[in-house]
Chains A and B, each alone.
Chain A
Amino acid sequence: MKRKGIQQMSWKGLAAFTVLILILPFLLSTSLMITKATFAGIYTIVAVGLGLLMGFAGQISLGQAAFYGVGAYSTAILTATFGISPWLSLLIAITAPALIAYILGHTMARLHGYYLAMATLAFGIVIHVLLVEWKGFTKGASGFYGIPKLELFGFTFTQGISYYYLVWAFALLVIILSLNIIHSRIGRALRSIHDSEVASSSMGVDTGRYKMQVFIISAMFAGIAGWLFAHMSYSISPGSFGLDGSILFLTMVVLGGSTSVWGAVFGALLITAISSFVQALGSKISFITSDFEHVLYGLILMLVVIFLPQGLFPAIAAKLKPFLEFTGRKKKSGSITAVKGDQRA
């Protein structure tokens, strides 16, 4: 049923995006590009979670890469060291980050903004140190080798097209779940906190609880992404899960914008593209190094906050709107004229 007056999910936007994802591999010429596009999917999963946390719970996590790492390493250890099925370890790769988020979240439930930033930053560093130092389990800084490939009904997902579709299936699922959440009573509750926390709590909204739940969800998404990354890669090392990683995810969300799910998706795609482009350029021009990439991210963060606080996506979506209703806002044109009439009166 179509309900007038509620900001609903736009199936048209989702369908268009799905089609784009389906045909993309046929447009990419090299296997390297397919791998990049697969990574874009993995990053999308993390970014969407982080976007929910920032845009809807108004909190910042500077340790999202650590949740991603917990997901990756827990499945790596469980499958390679203990021989457990990857599909079973997926459960652990989701619940372990969730549990940690639940504990960390207690610093947030009672506290204000900066503390979660601090707590997640500290947590990220603790995890990174543990990954390096806890050699018995993680094999230390040199990395963990021998992670098995995913198999389903006798089919093996190897790096390439099949893994691309697997990752994006998960990413689309995560996008749909997130859209469902923000269009539910909980999404409304979270959006209401943004506008007036006082009014929200006098309507009976337990603000701390929902912030906590979104934080847990964002950790779970990062865990899923970590699991996908591990089984794609054969080997993983702590370097992928440090502060730089967390800041990369942050940059994606800030660039795309966190007021809608699509903003985070867009940010993840764009940053992956930019990074691939810079790296490709770097192989030709010696001046362009990984430092250059960092300077660029620093610039992006500063410029976006100053000039485009809502991120890039809303600006682009406004232009696209006549073609595709991406943001999912359905306003009856009749009622808009009605209001305009009112304001004149």
Chain B
Amino acid sequence: MADSVQFLISGLTIGSIYAIVALGFVTIYSVTKVINLAQGEFVMLGGMIMFSLLKLGIPYLIAFLTTIAMVIMIGWLLERTIVRKAKGADALSLIILTIGAAIFIRGIASMIWGKDSVKVASFASNEPVSVMGATITPQSIWVMVFMLVIVAGLFLLIEKTMLGKAFRACSVNPLAARLMAVSPKKMSSFSFALSAGLGALAGLVIAPIIFPAYDMGVMLGIKGFSATILGGLGSAPGAVLGGLLLGVIESLGAGFISSGMKDAIAFGFVLMLLLIRPYGLLGEKNVGKGGL
């Protein structure tokens, strides 16, 4: 029992991260129809830049905010310099483009930070608390809280602000949006910046738990992508659900079966689900009209 609770909690923790990464995918996809496979690299940059800033002796909060700002800049630059140049390319090419960007960023990161894992301090105290026989670190509570705050914040941003209206207009019909004086180009930059920010946040909250390294973005990116597809491509609630589910399954698999097999179990589950429910949990038919 205590074991199950423990696994569930660690599953929800990592699942929250997947959910945030998945929301980043959805943010970009809904406006630009691009699947940005460099999303995981934003997470990595969040963790690694924070590490460097802290090492320079910059106070935690300032380092935290600076990291977010820097990663947002990088996301924005990625859109401006690379993605925009390939507008009009088909879905296949766009995927390849973002894979290229991912490898490039990762390669640069390994030149800057080397291949070793680094340590980033927790937000606050690191005394584990005990709940129903399971121990929880405060950081994992932070992770879940951040996920909820991000979900609420995104909801408010998209549903309640003018910016959100423009955002939605672009995702539904770029032509109509242009007629309403919303620039799809600006929205495209904005979506990359926003999702880079989300990635950075994910990296920041998880850094104290996982010892970040230059290649942490690979798996987190892929898991986030899986969560996106699992939930139904383009659906934000689906992304959150997909992320949490993936985290829990992975954690239960690692706990009860074998920790070495956890990724195989998680992805095996994704594959099964795609075979049974091809459009994902909350997805509509006909989304993701990519390569066909």
Contact = CB atoms under 8 A, between A and B. Distances in A.
Contact flag (A, B; Cβ within 8 A)? yes
Interface in B228-242: 229, 233
Interface residues of B, number: 51
Interface stretch (B1-9, B107-115, B175-183): B107-115
B100 interface: yes
**Which of B97, B107, B279 has the most C-beta atoms of chain A within 10 angstroms of its own C-beta?**
B107
Contacts, number: 154
A121 B89 contact: no
A107 B261 contact: no
Contact of B101 (A106, A115, A302): A302
B278 A309 contact: no
B269 to A, nearest CB: 9
Contacts of B97: 301-302, 305-306
A186 interface: no
A306 B86 contact: yes
A254 interface: yes
Interface string A150-180: 0000000000000000000000000000000
Interface residues of A, number: 49
A247 B107 CA distance: 14
B278 A115 contact: yes
Given A113-B91, A114-B291, A295-B104, A122 B271 contact: yes
A132 B102 CA distance: 25
Contacts of A312: none
B264 A125 contact: yes
B278 A119 contact: no
Interface string B222-255: 1001100100010000000000000000000000
Given A114-B229, A132-B260, A301 B99 contact: yes
A116 interface: yes
Given A58-B292, A113-B288, A197-B292, 14 more contacts: A59-B92, A62-B99, A107-B271, A107-B275, A112-B288, A118-B270, A119-B274, A122-B268, A130-B264, A247-B99, A301-B99, A302-B82, A305-B94, A306-B85
Interface of B: 35, 82, 85-86, 89-97, 99-108, 110-111, 218, 222, 225-226, 229, 233, 258, 260-261, 263-264, 267-268, 270-271, 274-275, 278-279, 286-292
8 contacts: A117-B291, A119-B271, A125-B263, A294-B104, A294-B106, A298-B100, A298-B105, A306-B86
Interface of A: 54, 58-60, 62, 103-104, 106-107, 110-119, 121-123, 125-126, 129-130, 132-133, 197, 207, 243, 247, 250, 254, 289, 291-292, 294-302, 305-306, 309
